[in-house]
């Protein structure tokens, strides 16, 4: 039995090492990550990547004035440091440990070799990257369109899905910083959730009392992201062969052509959206083997 297959371990790593367990095992360093530990800064070249086990890591976007907002979080379902295998060691985001815990650290050179040599590794990594992109997109929409109480509930559920137990160690100030809103708004919303007996909060300890109740308060974004992760990480051992890829390439060209014709006739959206959607769609079809995505195709 795969020793990493337990629900308490990292599910992406469990699937990856199945491809070549004798090569992977000597590369894994089990490490403790402290709360607020910076794994990498914006612009850093990454020498290693992390597969969280009990830790949760926030990916922060940094503004010129130093302010930052969380754009995604990663826990035991994924990996921190995707820029290593996406062809560029440097990253524009900052990776900070939000919930202390454990992780497996793996050298970047080994990951690059595996990504280049193994179709299984490449597809698993790309599927996770697509799921991460969907989380980032949905968080962007959430921040713009949904109220603080809904955002807070969604954010709490994202966290509780990635940890064991029902306790988070975090202050209102830290949550406000991550969501990019005022602390007063978080305190007010947390107080409302307490009155509904959904959570209990005391001096930096947040206790989940009613997950279903919190789910009812959260916006649709929680379900959308959860569903997308489940879809993309289902059947981790299924691999597209080169013949599959060629068939998809033909289908992709046909679909992309039709879409661009629609755009030319004024039925598309603004140019940025078209470019991003087309790129995302091509990646979906060619590398990942999925013919639909969140961009509306
Ligand atoms: Zn939302």
pLDDT in tens, 167-178: 999 999 999 999
CA of 174 to the centre of ligand 1 (A): 19
| Average model confidence (pLDDT) across the chain | 83
- Please give the structure tokens belonging to residue 1: 């039995």
Q: What is the SS3 assignment for 174?
A: helix
CA of 153 to the centre of ligand 1 (A): 9
The DSSP annotation for 99-165 comes to: E-EEEEEEEHHHHHHHHHH-HHHHHHHHHHHHHHHHHHHHHHHHHHHS-HHHHHHHHHHHHHTTSSS
Helix and strand tally (H, E) in the chain? 11, 10
Q: Cα angle at 93 between 115 and 73, to 5 degrees?
A: 80
DSSP state, 268? S
CA of 129 to the centre of ligand 1 (A): 21
CA of 224 to the centre of ligand 1 (A): 9
CA of 138 to the centre of ligand 1 (A): 7
Of 169-178, 211-220, 241-250, give the lowest mean pLDDT range: 241-250
Q: What is the SS3 assignment for 197?
A: coil
- Under the banding of pLDDT at 50, 70 and 90, the label for residue 220 is very high
- Please give the structure tokens belonging to residue 23: 């090569």
pLDDT for residue 5 is more than 50: no
pLDDT of residue 268: 43
Which segment, 1-5, 185-189, 293-297, is predicted with the most confidence on average? Answer: 185-189
Q: Cα angle at 4 between 110 and 226, to 5 degrees?
A: 95
CA of 281 to the centre of ligand 1 (A): 23
CA of 83 to the centre of ligand 1 (A): 26
CA of 214 to the centre of ligand 1 (A): 13
CA of 197 to the centre of ligand 1 (A): 21
Q: How many CA atoms lie within 13 A of 120 on its CB side?
A: 14
CA of 78 to the centre of ligand 1 (A): 22
Q: Among 67, 48, 51, which Cα is nearest to 8's? A: 51
The mean pLDDT of 156-173, rounded to a whole number, is 95
Output the pTM of the full model. 0.80
Instruction: Give per-residue pLDDT as tens, 113-144.
Output: 999 999 889 999 999 999 999 999 999 999 88
pLDDT of residue 219: 96
Angstrom CA distances, 102 to 11, 15, 44, 91, 156, stand at 14, 18, 22, 22, 20
User: At 71, which helix (H) or strand (E)?
Assistant: strand 68-74
Q: At which residue do the structure tokens 């629900």 appear?
A: 7
Number of neighbouring beta carbons within 10 Å of residue 87: 8
With a pLDDT cut of 90, the percent of the chain lying above it is 60
pLDDT for residue 269 is more than 70: no
């Amino acid at each position: 039995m795969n020793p990493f297959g337990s629900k308490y371990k990292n599910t992406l790593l469990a699937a990856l090492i199945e491809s070549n367990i004798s090569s992977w095992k000597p590369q894994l360093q089990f490490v403790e990550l402290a709360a607020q530990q910076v794994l990498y800064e914006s612009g850093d070249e990454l020498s290693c990547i992390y597969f969280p086990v009990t830790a949760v890591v926030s990916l922060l976007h940094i503004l010129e004035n130093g302010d930052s907002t969380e754009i995604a979080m990663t826990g035991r379902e994924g990996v921190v440091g995707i820029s290593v295998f996406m062809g560029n060691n440097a990253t524009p985001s900052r990776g900070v440990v939000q919930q202390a815990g454990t992780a497996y650290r793996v050298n970047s050179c080994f990951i690059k070799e595996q990504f280049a040599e193994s179709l299984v590794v490449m597809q698993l990594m790309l599927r996770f990257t697509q799921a991460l992109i969907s989380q980032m997109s949905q968080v962007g929409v959430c921040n713009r369109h949904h109220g603080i109480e809904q955002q807070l509930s969604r954010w709490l559920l994202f966290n509780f899905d990635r940890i064991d137990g029902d306790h988070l160690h975090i202050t209102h100030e830290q949550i406000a910083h991550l969501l990019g809103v005022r602390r007063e708004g978080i305190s007010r919303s947390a107080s409302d959730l307490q009155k509904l007996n959904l959570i209990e909060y005391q001096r930096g300890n947040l206790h989940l009392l009613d997950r279903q109740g919190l789910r009812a308060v959260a916006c649709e974004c929680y379900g959308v992201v959860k569903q997308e992760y489940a879809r993309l990480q289902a059947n981790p051992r299924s691999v597209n062969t080169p013949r599959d890829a060629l068939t998809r390439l033909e289908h992709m060209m046909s679909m992309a052509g039709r879409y661009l014709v629609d755009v030319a006739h004024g039925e598309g959206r603004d140019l940025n959206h078209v470019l991003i959607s087309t790129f995302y769609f091509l990646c979906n079809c060619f590398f990942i083997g999925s013919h639909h995505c969140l961009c509306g195709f």
